[in-house]
Structure 1
Amino acid sequence: MKLLIIGGSGFLGRAVVVEALARGHEVTTFNRGRSGADVPGAEVVRGDREVRADLDRLIAGRSWDAVVDTSGYVPRVVGESARALSGHAGTYAFVSSVSAIDGFPGNPATEDTPGWPCAPDAGPDDGGYGVLKAGCERAVQQGFEGNALIVRPGLILGPHENVARLPWWLSRIARGGQVLAPGDPDTPMQLVDARDVAIFTLDQAERGTSDTFLVTGPAGNTTYGEWLGLCKEVTGSDAEFVWMDSRFLAEQGAGTFVELPLWGGPPSAEIDNFWSVPTARARAAGLRTRPVAEIVRDTWAWLREIPEEQRVYGVKTQHGMAPEKEAAILAAWAARSA
C-alpha cells in the first residue's frame, strides 16, 4: 500500500511508520521536522499542516491508499487536512483518545459513546484536550470523503515515549534510594504499547475499515505496585518504595498524572472509570496487546542509551516530581508515621 503518515517522527507516529515499512508499504511522512528524527526508509515531505500552501504542495499529483493522522489536536486544523486529502486517499485513520468520550472518566466509556460537544471547526482555545479531540473526530467524519477510521487509545507507553510517563519513573527508580510511591499498590491499571496501537491501526487501514474503536490493554493488565516493581527489576535498582496514602499526598500538594505520572489522586467518582475501558470491539477486530513487562523492558532498553542529562520528561509538559519536593514529602510521611 501507499500510506501517508501525518506526523511520523515522534512517539506513536514513529511506531506507525516503523511497522508500515516492516510490512513493505510505501510510506510518506508529512511533518515540520521538530519532534524527532525521521525513520529511514520513508519519503519525507516537510511542511506545516496549518499552512494551506504546504498541504497543496503535499497533495499535488499524489494519492495514497490510506492516511494515518497521529498529530491532530485542533478540529479546525484537522478538518482542513481531511478536506484537502479527500479524493487523494481511500481511508483517513485518525488517532483520537479515550479522553474524547463525553463524561469520561467520570462516566463509563463504551464503543458507541459520543464525544464531548465540540464543533468540527473549533479552534485551539475552545476546550481542553479531550473536548478538542472529539471535535477532531467530527472534522474527519464530516470533512473526509471516504472511509473514516477513528482510533481512541487509552494510556499509551513504550519505546520513544515523548510524554515521558514511564521514562520518568524508570529514571527515578534507577537512581535508587527511597522512592515516593503513590496510593494503593493494588490499584489496577490498563496500559497499552504504542507498537500495538500502530499494528491495530494499520490492520484496519489496510482493510479500509470505517468505524470507531477503543484501543488499549486489558483492564487490570497490571497494578501500580507491579508496574513500579517491573521498573525496579529491569533497572537493577536498589530502590525502596515508600507507599503513601493518596489523601496524605493530596494534602502535601502532590500533583496527579503529571507530577506523579499515572497517579490519579484520592478515589473519586470523577476518575472511577479511568482504568476500565472496554475493548471488545477492537479485540474482535484483531487487537492483540503485549505484556506490560515487555513494554517496561523495551522502554528501558531504549532509554538507557540516552544519557540522564539528555532525557526529556515530556515534550509539552514537564513530567515528574522535583527531587526536593519528593524529599520533603518523604520526610513529612516519616514524621507522621513516627
Structure 2
Amino acid sequence: MKVLFIGGTGNISTASSKLAIKKGIDLYHFNRGVNSAKISGVKTIFGDIKNPKDLEELKKHTWDVVVNWIAFLPEDIENDIQLFKGKTKQYIFISSASCYQTPLSYPIITESTPLKNNLWEYSNNKIKCEELLLQAYRKVDFPITIVRPSHTYDIVIPIAIGGFNEYTTVDRILKGKEIIIHGDGTSLWTVTHADDFAKGFVGLLGLTQAVGHTFHITSDEVLTWNMIYKILADSLGCEAKIVHIASSFIGKIEPSFKSGLLGDKSESVIFDNTKIKTFVPAFKATIPFSEGIKRTLKWFDENPDKKIINPKTNAQIDKILAAYKKLFY
C-alpha cells in the first residue's frame, strides 16, 4: 500500500509514521525537512504543500492513501481536492475534536455530536474544512475520511496553560512557583498518547469501509484536570502549588488564553470510541497518562533544547495570579 503523509514528523504523526512502516506500508512524507525527526524506512519528498512549484513531483504519483496532517484552512482543502482528485483511493483529513458542539448539550461525544464551536477560530476553520470535504465526497466522489484527535501528546506537555510546545509550567512546578488550573479543576478531560492514537489511525489507512466516514480516536481514560496536573507533578517528584481560577477570569485578564479555554478545555468531555473500535477491532488505548507523561518528560530530559521556558507566558501567568489575588485575597 502506497501512502503519502503531508507532514508526518510532528507530535501526533511521528508515531503513526513509525507504526505504518512497522506494518510494511510504503510510506512517503512530503514536507520541508524542518523537523529533525528521522524515521527509518520513510521516503521523503522535500517541498512546501503551499508552494505550487514544489508540487511537480507529487503530481507524478498516484496513491492508495493521502493524509494531510497540516491542513488548517479551507483553502488548504480546496488545493488538496484539486491536487489529489483522481490520484488517491482515500484522502484523510486530520480535523479536531474541538469542532464538536461547544458548549455540549449532552456530555458523551459520538461522531454524530453536532459540529459547532463559535468560540475558537481554529475549530471553526476545521469545521469549514470538513464541510468542503463532505461536499466534494457527495458531488464528485472525492474519497474522504475525517479523523478528529483530541489533545494527543508525545513530545508536548498536554496541559491548558504554559504547556504543549512549552516547558513553562513544568519549570514553574520544579521551581516551586504557583501554577494555574482553570476552573475548580473538576471538569473531565481526556489526553491520548500518540502511540495509542496510531493504533486506531493506521488501521484506517486503506480501509475501504472508512471512506465517507468520520472518526475520533482517543483514550478511554477520563481524568479531572486536577488529576492531570497532580499526575504531572508526581511524575516530576514535586508537589504543585495550584491556584484555581475561573476560565472567564483568565480570559478577561489574558485574552490570548480565552479561545483555548472557553472554546475547548473548560468543557467536560467523555468520548465514546465505539465507532473506531468497530472499524478497527484491534484498537485499544493502553497507555495511561501516568505512564505516558513519564515518557514525555524523559524525552524532554534527552532533548534539553526543547525545554522552552517562555518569559511571555511566565509574565502572563504572574499577571493573572496578581489580578486574582488583588480581587479575591
Q: Under TM normalisation by the shorter chain, which class is it?
A: 0.7 to 0.9
For 2:91 and 2:125, how far apart are their aligned partners in 1? 18
Q: Write the distance in 1 (CA, Å) between the matches of 2:170 and 2:117.
A: 37
Task: Give the SS at the match of 2:18.
Answer: helix
* TM-score, normalised via structure 2 length: 0.79
Q: Between Structure 1 and Structure 2, how many residues are aligned?
A: 314
CA RMSD across the alignment: 3.7
**Local SS of the residue matching 1:64:** coil
Superposed displacement of residue 141, structure 1? 3.7
1:275 correspondence with 2:290 = no
- Cα separation, 2, equivalents of 1:185 and 1:320: 24
The letter for the 1-side match of 2:289 is: V
Matches of residues 1-338 of structure 1 in structure 2 within 5 Å? 1-60=1-60, 62-101=61-100, 103-108=101-106, 109-113=109-113, 115=115, 128-143=121-136, 145=141, 147-159=143-155, 164=164, 167-208=167-208, 209-210=210-211, 211-218=213-220, 221-237=222-238, 239-246=239-246, 250=250, 253=253, 264=261, 273-285=267-279, 286=281, 287-289=283-285, 290-307=287-304, 310-312=306-308, 321-322=313-314, 325-326=317-318, 329=321, 333=325, 337=329
Contact map agreement 1:21 1:41 (CA 8 A) in 2: yes
Distance in 2, Cα, partners of 1:303 & 1:72: 27
- Cα distance in 2, alignment partners of residues 74 and 328 from structure 1: 32
Structure 2, gaps ≥5 residues long? none
Deviation at 1:155, TM superposition (A): 1.9
Q: Map Cα deviations across residues 53-73 of structure 1 (whole Å, 9 max, x no partner).
A: 42232131x222211211111
Cα separation, 1, equivalents of 2:320 and 2:157: 29
Q: 1:302: Cα distance to partner? A: 0.8
CA contact (8 A) 1:82 1:139 kept: no
Unaligned runs of at least 5 residues, structure 1: 119-126
Q: Residue 146 and residue 179 in structure 1: after superposition, are their counterparts in 2 closer, same or farther (change >3 A)?
A: closer
After TM superposition, give the deviation of residue 232 of structure 1 in Å: 1.6
- What's the offset of the Cα at 1:233? 1.9
Q: So what's the TM-score if we normalise by structure 1?
A: 0.77
User: Is the helix fraction higher in 1 or 2?
Assistant: 2
1:44: Cα distance to partner? 0.8
Tell me how far apart the structure 1 counterparts of residues 75 and 316 of structure 2 sit (CA, whole Å).
42
Q: Say which SS state the counterpart of residue 72 (structure 2) adopts.
A: coil
Q: Distance in 2 between matches of 1:115 and 1:24?
A: 35
Contact kept in structure 1, 2:30 and 2:46, CA below 8 Å: yes
In the TM superposition, what whole-angstrom CA distance separates every residue of 1:240-261 from its partner, at most 9, and x where no partner exists? 42333427954982568589xx
Q: Percent identity?
A: 21
Counterpart secondary structure, 2:147 = strand
* 1:140–1:148 CA contact under 8 A, matched in 2: yes
Amino acid paired to 1:11: N
Amino acid at match of 1:228: Y
2 CA distance for matches of 1:280 and 1:94?
20
> SS of the counterpart of 2:57?
helix
Q: Is the 8 A contact 1:17 1:27 kept in 2?
A: yes
Distance 1:328 1:257 in 2: 11
Kindly provide the CA deviation profile for residues 209-231 of structure 1, in whole angstroms up to 9, marking residues without a partner as x: 2211122233x621222211211
Q: Hey, what's the Cα distance between the residues in 1 that align with 2:257 and 2:293?
A: 18
Can you list the C-alpha shifts for 1:233-279, whole angstroms capped at 9, x where unaligned?
A: 22223x442333427954982568589xx8x37xx9x9774523433
CA contact (8 A) 1:98 1:214 kept: yes
